[in-house]
Amino acid sequence: MFFKINAECHIGFKKLTAADLGIGTSHQTHIGLYEGVLNFLPDVDVVSTAMLICDGYCDIIKCYFDRIENPDGTFRSPKIRIGGSEESVVKRIREFASADTGADWYLLWFGLESEELVFILLNANSEDYHRLHSYISDNDKILDESHPAFAAILQYIEDKVNRVSVDLQKDLEVVAQTGRGVHEYKPKDIEKANKYFCQTGRAGEELINEYFDKECAAGHIKSYLWMNASRESGLPFDFIVSSDSSAALHVDVKSTQFDCNQPIVFSDGEIRFISEYGRDTYQVYRVFDMSNEQKKLCIYHEISSYADAILAKQNIFGAEISQLSTSVNLIKYAVRPNIFNVGQEIML
DNA sequence: AAGTCGGAGTCTATCTTATT
DNA sequence: AATAAGATAGACTCCGACTT
């Protein structure tokens, strides 16, 4: 389970009013929430990001959160504001609602472990609403452990979040490796994605280790050496494979939880190695669908022309910035593998 | 100058909890 | 069980900023 609910473990549920949705005569510019959920947030001026989910839609957008202030300076009802000119959760919710003004709209909200906020907008005619409605009644406001169907509700919601946010998770897998666009995500999510990615990488190498074992037994290759067998070697490849017919191959394993079109990330060191030493010997073993029962492998070879092209560009860039007494350190490249030639898919 | 929009505070109906 | 007190969600109003 990638996304996990906050330790607070409270879920807010309300039927949105006309004023909340910005229809009718009210000038209300916020959606009122209930006390008791999102208690971990401060009282004023919270500009955060939140995940908004509606049917199959899922995106991370700005969320302006605060609480109504009493005359004595204390705070009460939390609310999310429409915010300025930028896209915001309230704005997007009102857009959805204005597309179907005849329907009733419901909102579920809660925090994740990472303190990311999640809002699930439900059309009363939707499948999601009907499913949840078998557990929740209209006068439920805050759902917590004391609710008889809490486990079922939580299961359904976590499933929903995980299912609908696959694209975001794919993005996170790349972000964890490259550091690109880090600001869009919470550090905790990235940390977690990083851990996941390391585990995935190790598991991928173990699979390939078994694969080569079988290849050896079948006589397809003579021998192989797993560089990272005991610990991370830091070399730009993971295996050296010897066979009778050709020179020793350098094999780098690139694993992903997702499909084979997930970007492959190369480090600067790997690109240099491919171009300088690995011309005809370097192969990338992409292990994919790691989160499925059936893990698969496809092999990319002849990637030296790609490495040459990248290196040429990098050298131009390096020469440019050297005029500013600056050099390049630690570049990462994320590439869509569909630009490479690929052989047959192999079932692992 | 008039109109519109957004933010903030205030009022109140309604719901919840405590007390008798 | 009836009533009072307290809490709070919902919606209105005011005000200032911005737009036309």
Token digits of residue A84: 């300025």
Domain boundaries, chain A: 11-161, 198-347
In strand C, the nucleotides that come within 7 Å of a protein beta carbon are: 8-15
Under 8 Å between Cβ of A243 and A156: no
pLDDT of the residue at A179: 65
Q: What is the mean pLDDT of each run of 10 residues along chain A (348 residues)?
A: 67 75 65 73 65 79 70 65 66 74 77 77 82 71 72 80 72 68 59 72 89 88 82 77 80 86 84 84 88 87 86 84 75 82 81
* Residues 123-142 of A, Cβ under 7 A from nucleic strand B: 139
Angle of the A268-276 helix axis to the A304-322 helix axis, nearest 10: 120
Residue range A11-161 forms a domain whose CATH class is mainly beta
Token digits of residue A213: 């074992």
Q: Say which amino acid occupies A52.
A: L
The per-residue DSSP string of A154-194 comes to: HHHHHHHHHHHTHHHHHHHHHHHHH-TTGGGS-HHHHHHHH
> What would be the CATH architecture of the domain defined by A198-347?
3-Layer(aba) Sandwich (3.40)
* Cα distances (angstroms) measured from residue A214 to each of A220, A221, A244, A298, A344: 9, 9, 17, 17, 18
Token digits of residue A319: 């020469």
pLDDT of the residue at A1: 41
Asked if A140 CB < 7 A from strand C, the reply is no
A77 closest CA partner among A47, A40, A37, A50: A37
Asked if A71 CB < 7 A from strand B, the reply is yes
Q: Specify the pairing of strand A105-111 against strand A223-226.
A: unpaired
Residue A160 CA to C14 C1' — how many Å? 42
pLDDT of the residue at A137: 67
